[in-house]
Structure 1
Amino acid sequence: MTPTPVDLLIEARWIIPVKPDNTTLEHHAIAVHDGRIVAVLPINEARSRFVATKTVSLPDHVVTPGFVNLHCHAAMTLMRGLADDLPLMRWLQEAIWPAESRHASHAFVRDGSLLAAAEMLRGGITTCNDMYFFPEATAEAFARLGLRGVLGITVIEFPSQYAADADDYLRKGLEARDAWRDNPLIRFALAPHAPYTVSNKSFERIGALADELELPIHIHIHETAGEVADSVREFGQRPVARLESLGLLGPSLIGVHAVHLDTEDIERLAIHQCAIAHCPTSNMKLASGAAPVASLLDRQLAVGLGSDGAASNNRLDLLREMRQASLLAKLQTSDAAALPAHQALRMATLDGARALGLDAEIGSIEPGKAADIAALRIDDPDELPCYHPASHLIHVLDRRAVSDVWVGGQRRVKHGKLLQITNTELLGIARLWQNKLRQ
């Protein structure tokens, strides 16, 4: 039989496809053509069945789907470490909002998002669900580096350098969506900031737009105990109940943080099949608390992982979030079996894709899906021996192990180096904005 031509054959020591669950394939290959996965099969079979334009051999690597960062503020990379060791509201009111009022601009967001996209790609992240001002600038940065993005149309009630009021935020965000509608890597979501910064009137309009345009809703919820108490005092309802009364709960809603949930909150989220973006490092660093992830997973919610912004993390590193999520779940439940390695990886891949409504397209290594792929090298004596690659991925490796990354079959990282931008340019961006913000 004549071998079938394909663009790319990736041969690996191990492949963790994520679907089926709890599966690790040894000495397998991934055939890719026109940006999509054609087959996953043993290396010897792949060599006889396909003839590839390019073959990449990864004899010491574990290959996974590209990671999905379900919650980020990419441009805030320019504020990395600007205001550490503060609780959320002081951090926002005393440091972040004042800095944004002075510096937020198209250039700020484009440059910060370039730094963020570079960091994420080098860490194996191939999709980012972002929320920030000037989404068209984030789109420019992500598209240039080849990162898949879902960009939030941010809505808040108070004015900023970007927009005057909630209607203005929506108008400008929808214009950006229209301008980028033909780019295959860029999608949009509606992103009301939080229940404490958005009015009922604006929420009702956002709900109607989400239904009309079939867009996800990306929103911070129940991040702190103070936020919940303030909602009860002002609206007579906890934030989740308020969102339910306004018609916003549903499969398209991605609730970020979801730390301070009671049993009724969890039941509401489960009934409406909402998704959750779990951000363990940011929640710990801001002393917000720990989300009840085990309970959310028990109720079959889609729970993905987010880094949050580098200003509150201070890394955009899904490998670290997987480890933190797994350890935190074990600590919370006093159960060493809670959130095992394969499940943590699924949260960082297929469950994040499911939350975004993209699980038919990305999130697992399956024929027909886009070839969003990350390869991590396991050959350092400090990392060996390796008995269980999935466990190694979560508990041993860090993002420096990422060697190669593909998005839609296009190589974005080769042997640890970005192919679309130089370190010299990135260093120049970082130094420029550090000097501006320091002043």
Structure 2
Amino acid sequence: MSESQFIIKPRWLVTMDVGPRVLEQHAILVDSGSIKAIVPKSEIPEWAVDWSVVDCSQHVVMPGLINLHAHSSMNLLKGYADDYALMPWLNEHIWPAEKRWVSNVFVHDGSLLACAEMLSGGVTTFNDMYFYPQATIEAVKQMGMRAHIGLTVLEFPTNYAATASEYIRLGTEVRDQYKSESSISFSFAPHAPYTVSDQTFTQIVTLSEQLNLGIHTHLHETQAEIAQSLEQFGIRPLQRLQALGVIGPSTVLAHGVHLEKQEQETLAMLGAHIAHCPSSNLKLASGIAPIASAQQIGVNIGLGTDGAASNNRLDLWQEMRTAALLAKVASQQAEAVPAYQALQMATINGATALGLQSQIGSIRVGKRADLVAVKLDELNSLPYFDPISHLVYVASREQVTHTWVNGELSYQRLPDGQAQFAGIETEALRSIALQWQLKLQQSAH
């Protein structure tokens, strides 16, 4: 018997795959990080009878959640500048703080905290966009997580780089260094149409084709962004990016709050993906994205948290529920984005957007064992009638008891309620957070 071989026995299995949406009293057999078999509990194969068993008899087991838009190390700026609109928030608070503090150490420590928060909430993969990507990768590796790393590009100087060319050079060097890591993938991440020039976008499109990398950028987050583009270029941002060749099946567009019907049709036609970040859009008063209509037209939509500085939680359970409710009220259709579609946004849709749908996002034989166990027998979850409905409208991240990535148990909630991470002691994380809190508080006065 090998430690890499084990059986998970849940009450319900939500596969997010074709076929039945919910399997009851089935077991998942995991071997060397991949899903070896899915069978009724009463029919465990003879060759697996000696494997260790994880009893999840009061749980739903489902695919790991995928955070399609994050700035993970901004976890250190959680609550640093609340209750401002996007541009004052950036210009007057976040960018000055970043200029003073952002470094390799800042990004590594912030990413450790973000990974811990996400793992404890069942997130196994996140799509990141920030500076010093090597520091984020090292934190991801330590915590036993999976990440799609955005190689950030801007025109203006930061602590990380001085010019767009330097951002691109540093990013491609990191990609070359880590491209053989099975849990790490990459895309170019030009920040936004209002911070990146036509020339740089054109260069990124060429490089993305040569290196087979996607593109991850912010788009149509605010009305002000669109007004600025109309004044400067005479066209809306999406039209500009489309003309530059940025929009395609490997493009992830964060937010997409202000998309007209014709623009939604353009995204569907070109196969681009939206990373919907409902909590951040609400908190920054950016607006309500037209998710119900975009989805109906055929746009693939995943869910993101954005950074903790503008959310302030890296909590995809909250995003699922909020996305479903907002879609209903915005479209005035109670049937819009039912629970199963919200779950799709948080799992297989995110995997598809990142080009990882053959590896993760659903529970299928041969896929990687990125799995989450959610306990549903606690008082606040009773009674239960439909586990899928419960996952979206009732469950919270506090009910996650196990998070596996590549078949490794990266997080477990112990019987006494304490969090246990494979990569670091909880008290070490607490110490890191409090040290940065002290530094940032002192600098603010």
Change (3 A) 1:133 1:105: same
Q: 1:206 is aligned with what amino acid?
A: I
Query: Following the alignment from structure 2 to structure 1, what is the Cα–Cα distance between the partners of residues 19 and 292?
Result: 18
Query: Following the alignment from structure 1 to structure 2, what is the Cα–Cα distance between the partners of residues 431 and 6?
Result: 36
C-alpha contact 2:2 2:51 (8 A) present in aligned 1: no
The residue that corresponds to 1:259 in the other structure is 257
Deviation of residue 414 (structure 1)?
A: 2.1
Deviation of residue 420 (structure 1)?
A: 1.7
Q: TM-score, normalization: structure 2?
A: 0.96
C-alpha contact 1:275 1:302 (8 A) present in aligned 2: yes
Q: 1:422 is aligned with what amino acid?
A: E
Deviation of residue 179 (structure 1)?
A: 1.2
Deviation of residue 269 (structure 1)?
A: 1.0
The residue that corresponds to 2:275 in the other structure is 277
Query: Following the alignment from structure 1 to structure 2, what is the Cα–Cα distance between the partners of residues 47 and 395?
Result: 36
Query: Following the alignment from structure 1 to structure 2, what is the Cα–Cα distance between the partners of residues 52 and 384?
Result: 34
Q: 2:420 is aligned with what amino acid?
A: K
C-alpha contact 2:265 2:294 (8 A) present in aligned 1: no
Q: 2:430 is aligned with what amino acid?
A: L
Moved more, 174-183 or 124-133: 174-183
Does residue 1:423 correspond to 2:421, yes or no?
no
Does residue 1:368 correspond to 2:366, yes or no?
yes
SS in structure 1 opposite 2:51?
A: strand
The residue that corresponds to 2:292 in the other structure is 294
The residue that corresponds to 1:150 in the other structure is 148
Deviation of residue 50 (structure 1)?
A: 2.5
The residue that corresponds to 1:131 in the other structure is 129
1:231-270 matches, cutoff 5 A: 231-270=229-268
The residue that corresponds to 2:161 in the other structure is 163
The one of 376, 379, 399 aligned to 1:401: 399
Change (3 A) 1:21 1:263: farther
Q: 2:280 is aligned with what amino acid?
A: S
Change (3 A) 1:21 1:223: farther
The residue that corresponds to 2:332 in the other structure is 334
C-alpha deviations, 1:39-70, integer Å up to 9, x for none?
Answer: 11211112556235321010100111000000
The one of 25, 33, 37 aligned to 2:23: 25
C-alpha contact 2:60 2:373 (8 A) present in aligned 1: yes
The residue that corresponds to 1:89 in the other structure is 87
The residue that corresponds to 1:174 in the other structure is 172
Query: Following the alignment from structure 1 to structure 2, what is the Cα–Cα distance between the partners of residues 263 and 397?
Result: 33
C-alpha contact 1:4 1:50 (8 A) present in aligned 2: no
SS in structure 1 opposite 2:170?
A: helix
Query: Following the alignment from structure 2 to structure 1, what is the Cα–Cα distance between the partners of residues 191 and 111?
Result: 19
Does residue 1:55 correspond to 2:53, yes or no?
yes
SS in structure 1 opposite 2:352?
A: helix
Query: Following the alignment from structure 2 to structure 1, what is the Cα–Cα distance between the partners of residues 214 and 6?
Result: 33
Query: Following the alignment from structure 2 to structure 1, what is the Cα–Cα distance between the partners of residues 242 and 19?
Result: 33
Deviation of residue 264 (structure 1)?
A: 2.1
Query: Following the alignment from structure 1 to structure 2, what is the Cα–Cα distance between the partners of residues 198 and 257?
Result: 17
Query: Following the alignment from structure 1 to structure 2, what is the Cα–Cα distance between the partners of residues 368 and 301?
Result: 27
Residue segments in structure 2 that go unaligned for 5+ positions in a row: 414-418
C-alpha deviations, 1:121-147, integer Å up to 9, x for none?
Answer: 000000010000000000010010011
Query: Following the alignment from structure 2 to structure 1, what is the Cα–Cα distance between the partners of residues 282 and 50?
Result: 46
C-alpha contact 1:9 1:52 (8 A) present in aligned 2: no
C-alpha contact 2:120 2:412 (8 A) present in aligned 1: no
SS in structure 1 opposite 2:217?
A: strand
C-alpha contact 2:60 2:376 (8 A) present in aligned 1: yes
SS in structure 2 opposite 1:374?
A: strand
Query: Following the alignment from structure 1 to structure 2, what is the Cα–Cα distance between the partners of residues 4 and 137?
Result: 33
Q: TM-score, normalization: structure 1?
A: 0.97
Query: Following the alignment from structure 1 to structure 2, what is the Cα–Cα distance between the partners of residues 349 and 89?
Result: 31
Identity, in percent, stands at 49
SS in structure 2 opposite 1:269?
A: helix
Task: Give the ranges of 4+ consecutive aligned residues of structure 1 lying more than 3 Å apart after TM superposition.
Answer: 3-6
1:71-86 matches, cutoff 5 A: 71-86=69-84
Query: Following the alignment from structure 1 to structure 2, what is the Cα–Cα distance between the partners of residues 196 and 106?
Result: 26
C-alpha contact 1:5 1:52 (8 A) present in aligned 2: no
Moved more, 51-60 or 244-253: 51-60
SS in structure 1 opposite 2:49?
A: strand
Does residue 1:433 correspond to 2:431, yes or no?
no
Query: Following the alignment from structure 2 to structure 1, what is the Cα–Cα distance between the partners of residues 367 and 240?
Result: 37
Query: Following the alignment from structure 1 to structure 2, what is the Cα–Cα distance between the partners of residues 53 and 412?
Result: 19
SS in structure 2 opposite 1:426?
A: helix
SS in structure 2 opposite 1:59?
A: strand
Query: Following the alignment from structure 2 to structure 1, what is the Cα–Cα distance between the partners of residues 334 and 296?
Result: 16
Alignment RMSD: 1.5
Query: Following the alignment from structure 1 to structure 2, what is the Cα–Cα distance between the partners of residues 153 and 162?
Result: 12
Query: Following the alignment from structure 1 to structure 2, what is the Cα–Cα distance between the partners of residues 181 and 6?
Result: 25
Deviation of residue 22 (structure 1)?
A: 6.3
The one of 390, 393, 407 aligned to 1:392: 390
Query: Following the alignment from structure 1 to structure 2, what is the Cα–Cα distance between the partners of residues 92 and 22?
Result: 46
Change (3 A) 1:80 1:5: closer
Deviation of residue 6 (structure 1)?
A: 7.5
Does residue 1:100 correspond to 2:98, yes or no?
yes
Deviation of residue 403 (structure 1)?
A: 0.1
Query: Following the alignment from structure 1 to structure 2, what is the Cα–Cα distance between the partners of residues 40 and 337?
Result: 32
Query: Following the alignment from structure 1 to structure 2, what is the Cα–Cα distance between the partners of residues 49 and 238?
Result: 60
The residue that corresponds to 2:188 in the other structure is 190
The residue that corresponds to 2:416 in the other structure is none
Number of residue equivalences: 437
C-alpha contact 2:144 2:422 (8 A) present in aligned 1: no
Q: 1:169 is aligned with what amino acid?
A: Y
Query: Following the alignment from structure 1 to structure 2, what is the Cα–Cα distance between the partners of residues 376 and 99?
Result: 37
Query: Following the alignment from structure 2 to structure 1, what is the Cα–Cα distance between the partners of residues 333 and 397?
Result: 27
